[in-house]
Amino acid sequence: MIKQLSKQHKITILCKILKCSTSAYYGWQKGKNRKRELHRRRLTTLVRTTYHGSDRTYGSPRIYKEIKELAVPCSRTHIVKIMQQQQLWAVQKRKFKVTIDSGHDLPVAENILNRDFTADSPNKKWVSDISYIRTKEGWLYLGQL
């Protein structure tokens, strides 16, 4: 019975079995999907290159802007999807926070080591990297060594 059906009917039946539209089949046959796939691959490469070129700091808005400057057709939502698929996330660098108040009139301990940490015998030179220490009176700042 299948031999008696026209080519168009066979394609329609096969598309129903495969759960795809006939327009998708004909688009694939004409090469439309291949062009789309090539564009997606090129866009993915551009996204990855731009992302790594920014030391992983660029998110989708900046990457979108960079790619648009190259005159490559794309949308920001497409860039977002590619970044999610490739697991590319913008890493934000923390802002520098000043923790030392050097503008005070309090006494400052003398730097007697002068960065010479070698010792002749044990217990001659002690150093620490503690900045604050808790006391009964509250937190005290030790200062830089």
User: Average pLDDT over the chain, rounded to whole?
Assistant: 85
Could you tell me the pLDDT band of residue 145, with boundaries at 50, 70 and 90?
very low
Paired with 141 in beta bridges are: 132
The pTM assigned to this predicted structure is 0.49
Report whether pLDDT(119) > 80: yes
Which pLDDT score, from 0 to 100, does residue 77 have?
95
Q: Quote the CA–CA distance of 36 and 137 in Å, as a whole number.
A: 69
DSSP one-letter code for 122: T
Q: What is the pLDDT of residue 99?
A: 64
Cα distances (angstroms) measured from residue 53 to each of 45, 48, 63, 67: 12, 8, 10, 13
Tell me what pLDDT residue 93 has. Answer: 79
Q: pLDDT grade, residue 71 (50/70/90)?
A: very high
Please, which residues have CB within 8 angstroms of residue 117's CB and are 6 or more apart in sequence? 125, 127
Model pLDDT for residues 20-63, shown as the tens digit of each residue: 999 888 888 887 778 888 899 999 999 999 999 999 999 999 99
